[in-house]
Structure 1
Amino acid sequence: MPDSPVLYVLNGPNLNLLGVREPEVYGRETLADVQARCERAAGDATVVFRQTNHEGELIDQVQEARDKADALVINPAGYGHTSVALLDALKTLTIPIVECHLSNPAARERFRHRSYVSAVAAGVVSGFGPVSYELAVQAALGLAQERSRSADRSI
């Protein structure tokens, strides 16, 4: 891992509406506020923070992370419950993946209880609002650091 690890934070559909969309569920902070939290939590790491409403674009971003990132935090939003294509793209990664959600999907509608992303994630952080992202960033970078140390020992 380089001196400054690279962390991709990818966000799925409708997260561009944070702060106005169902604030009783998702809170009043905007996606820009969440990005600032991630950047603070990442310290010296480089954060590539993106959001898209398009499944194919999200898959392209995951594929880009294969070669450019040391770890990935992903809030797949609705695609987590529906996209086998996103799962297949995530399965190609060898870097740590941490799934993140603002709300607790297990406490919501039944269709939200299953996430395809969870099958390949090292862990899931959910239900803590924007703090979920901070925790996910810390976890992903910690896993990347452990992975790097293990690789150094095997040389």
Structure 2
Amino acid sequence: MGQRYIHILNGPNLNLLGVREPAIYGHETLADVEAACRAEAQAAGLDILFHQSNAEHDLVGWLHQARVGAVGIIINPAAFSYAGYAILDALKMCECPIVEVHISNIHRREAEWRSRSIMTQVVTGIISGLGVDGYALAVRHLVKLDQRQVAA
């Protein structure tokens, strides 16, 4: 069997993690997030494909690549959470577990619209408000799901 992957996809403005509103999103960078996720996955014999884009069509393309054969998908759709219908439709086609991650607690944010992610209706689970630690927790969850499936 070839290398097995968890796909981690990040939406708009996450390339500025660490400098963008650090009171909300913290000081860690996206590179820090990737390193933590990679360490979690590699400890379980898995690898990750880690991407970020400010363009919706890039996320749709990566979801198409992950659609079949991925161990799982972790997605922080960021602002696409609220109106990214093309991403929503692409997620519906995925055959693996999907964890939606938000760094901030979207249910405690200043604007009510931020608490209504359209992605939540099709994902396996959501982690919100645990900072960048939510990513590594999502990897750990997908690893456990994969180990259960392999053992079955």
Compute the TM-score of the two structures, normalised by the length of structure 1: 0.90
Distance change (3 Å), C-alpha of 1:139 and 1:3 = farther
Equivalence for 1:141: 143
Kept in 2: contact 1:96–1:144 (CA 8 A): no
Kept in 2: contact 1:72–1:97 (CA 8 A): yes
Cα RMSD of the aligned pairs, angstroms, is 1.4
Aligned residue type for 2:82: H
Equivalence for 1:35: 34
Identity %, equivalent residues: 44
Equivalence for 1:52: 53
CA distance in 2, matches of 1:33, 1:128: 15
Equivalence for 1:78: 79
CA apart distance, 1:77? 0.5
Equivalence for 1:69: 70
CA apart distance, 1:68? 4.5
Gaps of 5+ in 1: 151-155
CA apart distance, 1:70? 1.6
Partner residue of 2:123 out of 121, 124, 146? 121
CA distance in 2, matches of 1:142, 1:94: 17
**SS of aligned partner of 2:68:** helix
Q: C-alpha offsets along residues 22-75 of structure 1, whole Å, 9 cap, x if unaligned?
A: 000000011000100111121221111110000011100111111352210001
**SS of aligned partner of 1:94:** coil
CA apart distance, 1:147? 3.6
Gaps of 5+ in 2: none
Equivalence for 1:153: none
Aligned residue type for 2:46: A
Aligned residue type for 1:33: D
Equivalence for 2:101: 100
Kept in 1: contact 2:68–2:95 (CA 8 A): no
CA distance in 2, matches of 1:28, 1:143: 30
CA distance in 2, matches of 1:142, 1:28: 29
